[in-house]
Amino acid sequence: MPMKCKVCDDSRGAKSTAGQRICTPVDTDAIGAMIKVTIDGRAVEVPMGTTILDAARMMGIRIPTLCYHDDLCISGVCRICVVEVEGMRTLQASCAFPITSPIKVHTHTRKVRQARRHILDLMLSKHYGECYSCVRNNNCELQSLAEEYGVDFYRFGHVDKPKTGRDNSSYAIVRDMDKCILCRRCVRTCVDLQEVGVFEAMGKGDRTEIGTFMDKPMIEEICINCGQCINRCPTGALHAKDPSDEIWAAIDDPKKHVVIQTAPAPRSAIGECFGLEPGHALTFEMNTALRYCGFDKVFDTNFSADLTIIEEGTELLLRLYRALVNKDPSAAVPQFTSCSPGWVKYIEHFYPEMLPHVSSAKSPQQMFGALIKTYYAQIHKIDPADIVTVALMPCTAKKFECNRPEMRDSGFKDVDYGLTTRELAQMMKETGIELTQMEKSDFDDPFGTATGSGVIFGATGGVMEAAIRTVYELVTGDFIENLFEKARVLPVRGFEGIRRAELPIEKVGPVPDLLKPLVPNWDWVKGVTLKVAVAHGTANAKKVLEDIKAGGPLSECHFIEFMACPGGCLGGGGMPIPTSEEIRAARARAIYQEDESSAVRKSHLNPAVTALYEKFLKEGPCGHKSHHLLHTEYTARGRKVV
């Protein structure tokens, strides 16, 4: 009988080779059949292969879980979700039990409750540390279950000193294995969801532990710093390296001028840290709160996102000119986006031979940092050595990116600290701020003007949509609204792992003044169908790169957007916990609503960007100064300064 997993589409049966997961077998010949299941005396019909856990959720019956996560394949290792199935001698893990025939299930009998309590007690017996000093205090799944099941003493004892200690070697991620409960979520996230493979379960029985290759520290691993393991860890075993103490010290130093740039994704989600449901943007309340915290200036990363579109879009046009007109074989097409540092590190580790395809443009974070310590320092007559730049980002990989040795084109460290959404929320709480009650205020000049195109960088497909809006109008002289209603480039939106779109260039216009030094005309583009693609999550990035290497249809693309995290930045490793597909979709809605409420929605129409080229980057996009400050180069060994 043919079987396949309803989660991962693996047709090899119940046991998969990827990580430690145990997949749910489904009879493909019986797909569509409805099976009657009775749970706690209530009957319902569910499709063949539905798990007991899913059936219970359909009925509104809660079954506790720990190793289970909506984003991950089934593991069934923690056994917190055990239930009683009539006629079966032992309790069954509801997350991994497929319903293939009528059954009667009991979810909260004395036997079930006692088993769950004992499982919790066993976990707590090896869980070192107290909750007050834990980064996950009041947002820990183990802590919540201990409260729910009335744990008031350590039935099987409790460790009183750490055994392994913390691994603080990484710029981005801290490991504290004394808090690990062996749920293997980090393993499945890294192996199955991202296909990187930093973590693995090692040993057997009570000697099992989650380790890295050869037990190396994180700084020596192939970790891409995406932080997806953090977002799915139920305890404090994994968390981001928090620079808030250093930032507070800078704010309290009267000699320091402390500025912060805020990326689009955090504003769509920070309200979740203050009790709001996902999908409420608090952009302008956050500006007021940041000034209340003591930041001297609050800038909008959307400004440098617009700048990135101009630089990266120009680079794309120059590559296409070299490839289509000059027939230059060194013009690596398709061009890959470069704003996701987790993606950049992924390709450096796993596909270094394809680095020439990566755009030389820095990320918006790093472009901004270089400008603050050059252009901004000059016009305000501030010594760059006294400027402290903080970047509020949805991403733990941004912490690594700002510490890359090549990111010092201003003559100083361009961005001093990367701060996650979660960490900023904690700083605000320390200041007594209730964010939802703050008054609204705008960003500071000269980097306060941004567009809707900058905002949508926060969602997967957003960089591509912003690029299409600008490149199409610059080349054709026509409005993008004549092609896509309200400038909504819907073919590149959505949460499918890989999306493709084609854009015929049927007419061309005059070359804008900004680009006249670079190309003589657009005649060579007329009749070309621009082919683009979007991928989010490095497992999908791998599929795209393998397709290109094999000469598949994606090798015909001209431009491809890659984001390391599922959903793009709004699913970043520094965003509020928990995460799920529904939560990421709600955040995306908030981002697109802010886009449509923006006065200007195209990067090339940002007056602040135009002024920057007129006053500072006078040679235009991809000119000598912009190339020095806003770009890097890639070699087979990785990224380097121009």
Stretches in the chain below the pLDDT threshold 50: 1-26, 28, 635-637, 641-642
Q: Phi and psi for 123 in degrees, rounded to 5?
A: -60, -45
How far apart CA 547 and CA 438 sit, in angstroms, is 49
Quote the Cα angle for 585-336-415, to 5°: 75
453 catalytic per annotation? no
Long-range contacts of 213-221 (CB under 8 A, 24+ apart): 217/167, 217/169, 217/170, 218/167, 218/169, 218/170, 218/173, 218/175, 219/169, 219/170, 219/171, 220/169
Catalytic residue from among 84, 311, 315, 465: 315
**What pairs with residue 562 in β-bridges?**
535
The reported pLDDT for the residue numbered 449 is 85
How far apart CA 340 and CA 346 sit, in angstroms, is 10
81 catalytic per annotation? no
Q: Which tokens go with 446?
A: 């000269």
The reported pLDDT for the residue numbered 529 is 96
45 catalytic per annotation? no
Catalytic residue from among 401, 465, 561, 594: 401
The reported pLDDT for the residue numbered 325 is 95
How far apart CA 306 and CA 298 sit, in angstroms, is 17
Smallest CA-to-CA distance from 537 within 60, 189, 48 is with 189
233, 71 contact by CB (below 8 A) = no
Catalytic residue from among 339, 395, 565, 622: 339
How far apart CA 634 and CA 632 sit, in angstroms, is 7
95 catalytic per annotation? no
Which H or E element spans position 546? helix 538-549
360 catalytic per annotation? no
555 catalytic per annotation? no
Catalytic residue from among 81, 229, 395, 569: 569
Structural domains of the chain, with CATH: 3-108 (3.10.20.740), 119-240 (3.30.70.20), 304-364+450-641 (3.40.950.10)
315 catalytic per annotation? yes
Catalytic residue from among 4, 6, 241, 398: 398
How far apart CA 179 and CA 130 sit, in angstroms, is 10
The reported pLDDT for the residue numbered 18 is 33
How far apart CA 357 and CA 360 sit, in angstroms, is 9
Catalytic residue from among 406, 441, 555, 625: 406
Beta pairing class for 92-93 and 173-176? unpaired
Catalytic residue from among 94, 170, 359, 453: 359
The reported pLDDT for the residue numbered 637 is 43
The reported pLDDT for the residue numbered 625 is 96
Q: Phi and psi for 36 in degrees, rounded to 5?
A: -85, 130
Catalytic residue from among 221, 311, 312, 465: 312
134 catalytic per annotation? no
The reported pLDDT for the residue numbered 32 is 66
Q: HSE (CB half, 13 Å, CA atoms) of 441?
A: 17
- SS3 label, residue 108: coil
